[in-house]
Amino acid sequence: MTCLEIVCPCGIDVVSSVFDVLNQYQVSLEAIESNQAGYLYVTISKVEFSDLKQMLGALRCNEQIYDARTVDVVPSELGRRELQLLLNQISYPVILIDRNGLILQTNQAVSYVCRCLMGDLIGQPLGNWVKGFSITRWLGRDNGRPEIIEVYLGGRAYRAYVEPLVDNLSLSHLPSALMSFRSDSQFIPDLDLASIRDSFAPFGLIAHDPEYIRIIEQIKEIASLPRSVLIYGEVGTGKRFCAQLLNHFRGNSAGDMTVISGPIHDEALDEQLLDLAASRPEMVLVYQIESFTSEQILRIIAQMHFVAQAVYTSLLSPEELIARYGEVSFYSAFGQIIRLPPLRERPEDSVQLAQAWLNEYFISKGAQSPILNRSVQQFLKKCQWPGNISQLLQVLRDTIAHTGLRAWSTKDIRYANQHANADTAICGLLDKDYHQAMADFEKLLLSYYYPQFPSTRALAKKLGLSHTAVAKKLKEHKIT
Ligand SMILES: Nc1ncnc2c1ncn2[C@@H]1O[C@H](COP(=O)(O)OP(=O)(O)OP(=O)(O)O)[C@@H](O)[C@H]1O
């Protein structure tokens, strides 16, 4: 194909004289369009160079045509390429379809999920890849209206947002609808979690557990009605992440959040507090308040009236903090208190986090990400994760360094921190009385081995106990 740009004021006379010239050289016309300036862009079948030269000369003889030349692309193709570049920036799958349900354009994320090249998808019926959606039925309902539907894409469950591109979907070959797919773990009503990809959320925001989803909703609410907040929880549960999320919900950039972290010398803290009073930042995160002295933390709290939103994180519980700072200081400092549940209390999140991390990793390597199989999912759910999300991410990184780009079995998972944590926990037993220490040790032993022997029979065999004794003890210690 050859593309011609004909520089002229667009009008019926010019178009008809262009057609005459094309006719004269017996070239077939593939497409014609004009840009805002009125220039004509004509796509024709391939012509011999000598004919092309003469044809351009003939076009230029027309006094209404200022110039005629060959170009690499016509404006509509340029628009399509621009759109493709934009689509590829979107990390979740997006598909453009026509009113016959044929795929017109997709992004890289679709080809990763469907495990095929993008070129293999174009022009194919959507139904070959997406189950649970019928374009005929959708068009039948009020000629297609925006809708959220549960579908399967490449065998994975998604919520698809279907949106019509024009009011009257009568054009048969042009894009009629746009479908964007979000996984369940990225869905909270009125909140587009998939769009929350920032420096602090490189593989998105994952929230599957209902309690955790409620926390995200609380954070969103605080963003609109600011009040000082204490976020506490075990190490690596995502306290800093939630502070960054709150900053994001407030419409701030990462630079708008000032972080104060200890331990710090009094003079350095004085300087930071002076800066704070001068710059009055939008948001301040006081990270791990237990790393400051009690006197320092009271001084920090006193300075917080300069900032719109203050967030404090802590590894300690409210009871422990009250014992340190006193009830009055505690309640006057924190308008809201949020406990982040550890990963073992939201086991489904550990699977969703692992899958999302894996997807991102494989995409970054230009490969298709495997779906974690059932036994790996069970394994992840049963691990205790004393280091929570930070530990999970570390284990994922260690595992991939070991396996490379292949699907995992439970044996591959490098859940290696268990020894270190078990050692610390065993030392802790020495402070307890005989009965408590024995009960705690039993629990530790069962939690330690259960992820690796995730059935009561396998665990019983490992520990040399009967199947019923193990089942009873697991129930007693609430190990699931
Ligand atoms: N909901 C989430 N979705 C995706 N990633 C998350 C989520 N929550 C936390 N993370 C990631 O988990 C890791 C640990 O989170 P973060 O550093 O916020 O934990 P923390 O509780 O502040 O840790 P520490 O106890 O060390 O202060 C970070 O890499 C963060 O990006």
Instruction: Give, to the nearest 10 degrees, the angle between helix 12-24 and helix 49-61.
Output: 150
Q: Is the pLDDT of residue 139 over 90?
A: no
The verdict on 52 and 154 lying in the same domain is no
Q: Which atom of ligand 1 is nearest to the CA of 242?
A: 18
Q: Is the CB of 238 under 6 A from ligand 1?
A: yes
Distance 372 CA to ligand 1 centre (A): 22
Q: What share of the chain is helix, strand, coil (3-state, %, to 5)?
A: 50, 20, 35
Selection from 38-42, 151-155, 397-401 with the highest mean pLDDT: 397-401
Q: Is the pLDDT of residue 447 over 50?
A: yes
pLDDT for 347 equals: 93
Q: DSSP assignment, residue 8? A: S
* 202's tokens: 């490189």
pLDDT for 434 equals: 86
End residue of a domain, out of 182, 213, 230: 182
Distance 168 CA to ligand 1 centre (A): 46
End residue of a domain, out of 341, 360, 384: 341
CA–CA dist 115, 25 (Å, integer): 46
Q: Is the pLDDT of residue 217 over 60?
A: yes
Write out pLDDT tens, residues 29-39. 888 988 888 88
Number of domains in the chain: 5
Distance 240 CA to ligand 1 centre (A): 6
Q: Is residue 187 part of a domain?
A: no
Q: Is residue 235 part of a domain?
A: yes
The verdict on 49 and 154 lying in the same domain is no
Q: DSSP assignment, residue 238? A: S
The verdict on 303 and 320 lying in the same domain is yes
The average pLDDT across 165-179 equals 67
Selection from 81-95, 156-170, 206-220 with the highest mean pLDDT: 206-220
Distance 317 CA to ligand 1 centre (A): 18
Q: Is residue 126 part of a domain?
A: yes
The verdict on 201 and 330 lying in the same domain is yes
Q: 113 and 92 in contact (C-beta within 8 Å)?
A: no
Model's pTM, two decimal places?
A: 0.59
End residue of a domain, out of 160, 182, 204: 182
The count of other CB atoms within 10 Å of the CB of residue 118 is 18
Q: 103 and 48 in contact (C-beta within 8 Å)?
A: no
Q: What residue numbers bound the domain in which 441 lies? A: 419-476
CA–CA dist 454, 441 (Å, integer): 19
The verdict on 336 and 448 lying in the same domain is no
The verdict on 28 and 123 lying in the same domain is no
The verdict on 411 and 439 lying in the same domain is no
Q: What is the ipTM of this complex?
A: 0.99
Closest CA to 378 of 351, 359, 397: 351
Q: 104 and 97 in contact (C-beta within 8 Å)?
A: yes
Residue with tokens 């990225």: 186
| Mean pLDDT estimate for the chain | 86
The verdict on 134 and 216 lying in the same domain is no
The CA angle 442-444-446, to the nearest 5 degrees, is 70
Of residues 393 and 437, more confidence is placed in 393
Q: Is the CB of 206 under 6 A from ligand 1?
A: yes
Q: Is the CB of 389 under 6 A from ligand 1?
A: yes
The verdict on 394 and 428 lying in the same domain is no
